Homo-oligomer: A and B are copies of this chain.
Amino acid sequence: MAITGRNEDLGGRIRLGMVGGGNDAFIGGVHRIASRIDDKYTLVAGALSSTPEKAQASGKALGLDPDRIYDNYTLMASAEAAREDGIEAVSIVTPNHVHYAAAIEFLRRGIHVICDKPLTSNIEDAKKLVAEAEKSDALFILTHNYTGYPMIRQAREIVTKGMLGAIRVVQVEYPQDWLSGPADNKQGEWRTDPARAGAGGSTGDIGTHAFNLASFVTDLELESLAADLQSFVDGRPVDDNAHVMMRFKGGARGMLWSSQVAPGNENALRLRVYGENGGLEWFQEDPNYLWYTPLGEPKRLLTRAGSGAIDAAARVTRIPGGHPEGYLEGFANIYTEAANAIMARRDGTDLDPAVIYPTVRDGLKGVQFVDACVRSSAANAAWVQLD
C-alpha cells in the first residue's frame, strides 16, 4: 500500500514545452496536470495559442518565463532547439489539423513529441508523419490516454496470457450526449468542422479512442469494417453517430458504436471482450473495476490495487484499492511511460520492456479507421479495408 519513490522525480525533470492549450482550451489543462502528477516534467515553454495575444496571456497565466512564451510553434521549435536548456519534449494539444505541421517542426530538431489524438486530420498527413517520426531520433507518443488505466493494462495481460482463449467477439462503444443539439461552444465548434477535425466527427473524436482501446486490449488486427454513419443534428457536416461492424484477422468479430447524441451518456466508453474460455468487461466511468468471468465460474470483480491485481496494473498504480484513481491518473500514466522512455533515451539505458505507450503507428491506424468508416459509409456500408 505504499507509494514508492518510483513515481516521483529523481532529480532530472524533463523540460517540456506545449503547443496549444491556451486559456479556454480543455485538453491542454489535462496534459499539464498529467505531466505534473508524477513530477517527471517541468513546463518551461509554450506556444499556447495561434492568436499571439492569447498565447502571451496564457503563458503568463501559467507562470512561464516571458522569453519562452512564443507566438507560434515554429518560433518555439527553432528558439528552443538553440538553447542549451531548451525543451526536451513538446506536448501538442491543438485542434487536429495542426498536429502534423507542428509535430514535424519538433521531430526534425530531435525534440520528443507527445501528441494528442487523432494523429492528424487526414490520412495523407498521417502517413507522412509516420515516415518523419520513424526517421527522427526523437520519440513520438500519442495520448490515447485510456490505455493508461491500470485495469486496462490488466485486461490486456489477461487476454495476451490466453486466459480467455481465442477471442471471438469484441464489443466496444463510446456514447456521449453533449452534441445532441447544435454545437455552440469552442469545443464543439472545431470538433464538428471538417477543416479542423477531419472527415470524422464522432468517429474521429471518440471512435478512434474506442478502436484503439479494443486493439490495445485484444492485440487483434482489423481486417475490414462496414460503417453506417449518420449526422442527426441538422446541418452538421460530420457524423455524430456511427455504427460499425468489424472483422478481425483470425476470425474474431466486433461492433463499435460511437455517438455524441445519446442523452444520458457522458463519456460512456465501454469495452467487452469474449473468448472461448472467458469474458472481460470494463467501463471508463468506473475505471477501477474490471469484470472477469472464466467460463463456467462466477464473475469476479477485479479492483485496481485490490486482491487479484497483477504487475501490469500495479506498476501504473499510485494508491491503495478502494481509493479511486481517475481519468487524470490514467492520462498521467501515459506521460510517465513517455518519461520512462525519454529518460532511458537520455541516459542511454535499455528501456524497461514493461513500458507501453501508444505510438505514431497506432495513430496512423486511428486515422485509417476514420477514413475507412467514411469510405464505407459513402458506399452504403460496404466492407472496406484500412487504407
Name A's B-contacting residues (CB within 8 A).
1-5, 7-13, 23-26, 28-30, 32-33, 36-39, 58, 60-63, 164, 168-169, 171, 173, 175-178, 180-181, 185-187, 226, 228, 230, 232, 241, 243, 245, 247, 253-255, 257, 259, 261-268, 272, 274-281, 284-288, 291-303, 306-308, 318-329, 380-381, 383
A11 touches B63 (CB 8 A): yes
**Contact of A274 (CB < 8 Å), options: B2, B36, B263, B293:** B263
A30 neighbours in B (Cβ, 8 Å): 3, 318-319
B8 touches A29 (CB 8 A): yes
Measured in the bound complex, the distance between the Cα atoms of B12 and A60 in whole Å is 12
Measured in the bound complex, the distance between the Cα atoms of B377 and A324 in whole Å is 33
Smallest Cβ distance from A93 to chain B, in angstroms? 11
Q: A245-B381, A326-B325, A380-B383 are in contact. Are A63 and B9 (CB under 8 A)?
A: yes
Q: Can you show 13 pairs from A to B with CB atoms below 8 A apart?
A: A2-B26, A3-B30, A8-B29, A10-B63, A169-B232, A169-B241, A226-B226, A232-B276, A263-B274, A265-B279, A265-B322, A267-B322, A292-B298
Copies of this protein in the assembly total: 4
A383 touches B383 (CB 8 A): no
A185 touches B318 (CB 8 A): no
**Contact of A23 (CB < 8 Å), options: B4, B171, B272, B287:** B4
B36 touches A268 (CB 8 A): no
**Contact of A39 (CB < 8 Å), options: B13, B32, B164, B281:** B32
Smallest Cβ distance from A355 to chain B, in angstroms? 20
Q: A10-B61, A230-B253, A318-B33 are in contact. Are A264 and B243 (CB under 8 A)?
A: no
